[in-house]
């Protein structure tokens, strides 16, 4: 059996706001879809980022009657490599992105990072290797 990882699909409750965020703030090229749809894909390099309306996936897998969210620790994060964390931080801050962590070196990880959230609360990390 051969499995090929092709993309990450975020199941979002506010599709339009998330679509606009990834298109306009993150500046990803659209591969398919628009803000009025139920599904969209963005080009992010070798792996695509997809958005899908959360309730439609819940219906498809038969758990639409389950609670939509629980207060808990993050269970996933989108990680994006950038050339310069501080420059990207400044660019995103100018677009009114609110960061949950400012740029900082994480020697144990070997990276410099900063974290923020999309309109649906998904955790996003930008990072670059230390010493490069």
At 20, which helix (H) or strand (E)? helix 15-20
pLDDT digit string (tens) for 83-113? 999 999 999 999 999 999 999 999 988 899 9
What confidence tens digit (pLDDT) does each residue in 32-60 have?
999 999 999 999 998 999 999 988 877 76
Strand order across the 29-32 sheet: 7-12, 48-53, 39-43, 29-32
Q: Whole-prediction pTM value?
A: 0.82
Task: Determine how many CB atoms are found less than 10 A away from the CB of residue 28.
Answer: 19
The C-alpha atoms of residue 104 and residue 77 are separated, in whole angstroms, by 17
Q: Which residue from 14, 42, 117, 20 is spatially nearest to 74, judged by alpha carbons?
A: 117
* Structural domains of the chain, with CATH: 1-65 (3.10.180.10), 74-132 (3.10.180.10)
């Amino acid at each position: 059996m051969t499995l090929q990882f092709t993309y990450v699909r975020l199941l979002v409750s506010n599709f339009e706001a998330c679509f606009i965020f990834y298109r306009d703030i993150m500046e990803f090229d659209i591969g398919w879809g628009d803000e009025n749809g139920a599904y969209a894909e963005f080009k992010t390099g070798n792996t695509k980022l997809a958005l899908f309306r959360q309730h439609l996936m819940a219906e498809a897998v038969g758990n639409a009657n389950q609670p939509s969210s629980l207060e808990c620790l993050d269970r996933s994060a989108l990680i994006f490599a950038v050339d310069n964390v501080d420059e990207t931080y400044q660019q995103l801050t100018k677009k009114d992105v609110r960061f949950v962590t400012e740029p900082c070196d994480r020697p144990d990880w070997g990276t410099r990072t900063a974290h923020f959230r999309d309109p649906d609360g998904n955790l996003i990390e930008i990072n670059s290797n230390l010493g490069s």
